[in-house]
């Protein structure tokens, strides 16, 4: 990858959990950051202030990253305020209450797929336009935050969520090959049972505690552990890694 004068990262859905942990780590590594949020402005603002105290250049932008016009506007604002994106973390995602597929409505499945998959496609497209060496960019890296559910299937709980993450995995592999000779690397992380608020969205706040004893490592993971993998994949230390995945699921 051609070295850019400035490292600019966009993290989608980063007001909590893995996204917030990644923002903290990338700030420490000298990235200028755009923190994206859809509805939780208070958390995004608090994180921005926290990182600014550390001397980081941080902006926050509200955007629904499953909406094409809003994604285009998001990247255009970053261009003006920070410069072109050189690192993208597709972290935005939603989880609906646990239930078997036979009880799922079309509206539910559509919302999960649009939020989790479409956002990844749209943001990656805009990032590639800016990173591409052929288009005058400096190269860059994309990390897609998938899930261990992509290979477990999450039966009786989140088959729709699992399917959305499986789609992200396929996209990760295909895009990585498309842009491999254009200075852009595309990889994924697949977290398993991680202590985040997302489990509350699924209706079981203590889900990690329930499942942790069943994992080979016997414990749940922390957002910081996932953030470390994301930061490594974005860095030049992972310069020969593309189209690959790091599973962060305690051996599952």
- For residues 232 and 122, give the distance between their C-alpha atoms in angstroms, rounded to a whole number: 23
Task: Give the helix ranges, DSSP H, for 82-157.
Answer: 106-113, 119-131, 149-152
- 85: phi then psi, degrees, rounded to nearest 5: -65, 135
Structure-block tokens of residue 69: 């016009």
- For residues 133 and 43, give the distance between their C-alpha atoms in angstroms, rounded to a whole number: 35
40: left (phi over 0), alpha (psi -120 to 50) or beta: beta
Is 195 part of the annotated catalytic residue set? Answer: no
Q: Report whether 113 contacts 104 (CB < 8 A).
A: no
- 122: phi then psi, degrees, rounded to nearest 5: -65, -45
- For residues 105 and 186, give the distance between their C-alpha atoms in angstroms, rounded to a whole number: 33
Structure-block tokens of residue 104: 């799922």
Q: Report whether 118 contacts 162 (CB < 8 A).
A: no
Q: Report whether 109 contacts 160 (CB < 8 A).
A: yes
Q: Given the residues 37, 151, 161, 195, select the one marked as catalytic.
A: 161
Which sequence positions are flagged as catalytic?
Answer: 161
């Amino acid at each position: 990858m051609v070295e850019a004068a400035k490292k600019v990262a966009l993290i989608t859905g980063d007001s909590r959990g893995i996204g917030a942990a990644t923002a903290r780590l990338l700030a420490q590594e000298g990235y200028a950051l755009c923190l994206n949020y859809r509805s939780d402005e208070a958390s995004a603002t608090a994180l921005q202030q926290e990182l600014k105290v550390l001397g980081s250049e941080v902006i926050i932008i509200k955007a629904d990253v499953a909406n094409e016009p809003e994604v285009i506007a998001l990247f255009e604002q970053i261009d003006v305020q920070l410069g072109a994106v050189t690192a993208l973390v597709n972290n935005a995602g939603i989880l609906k209450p646990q239930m078997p597929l036979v009880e799922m409505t079309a509206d539910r499945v559509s919302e999960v797929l649009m939020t989790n998959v479409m956002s990844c496609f749209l943001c990656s497209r805009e990032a590639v336009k800016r990173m591409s060496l052929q288009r005058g960019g400096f190269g860059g890296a994309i990390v897609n935050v998938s899930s261990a559910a992509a290979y477990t299937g999450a039966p009786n709980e989140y088959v729709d969520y699992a399917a959305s993450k499986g789609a992200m995995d396929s996209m990760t592999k295909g895009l990585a090959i498309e842009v491999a000779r254009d200075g852009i690397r595309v990889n994924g992380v697949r977290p398993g049972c991680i202590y985040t608020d997302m489990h509350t969205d699924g209706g079981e706040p203590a889900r990690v505690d329930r499942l942790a004893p069943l994992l080979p490592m016997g414990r749940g993971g922390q957002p910081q552990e996932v953030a470390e993998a994301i930061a490594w994949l974005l860095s030049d230390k992972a310069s020969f890694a593309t189209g690959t995945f790091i599973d962060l699921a305690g051996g599952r």
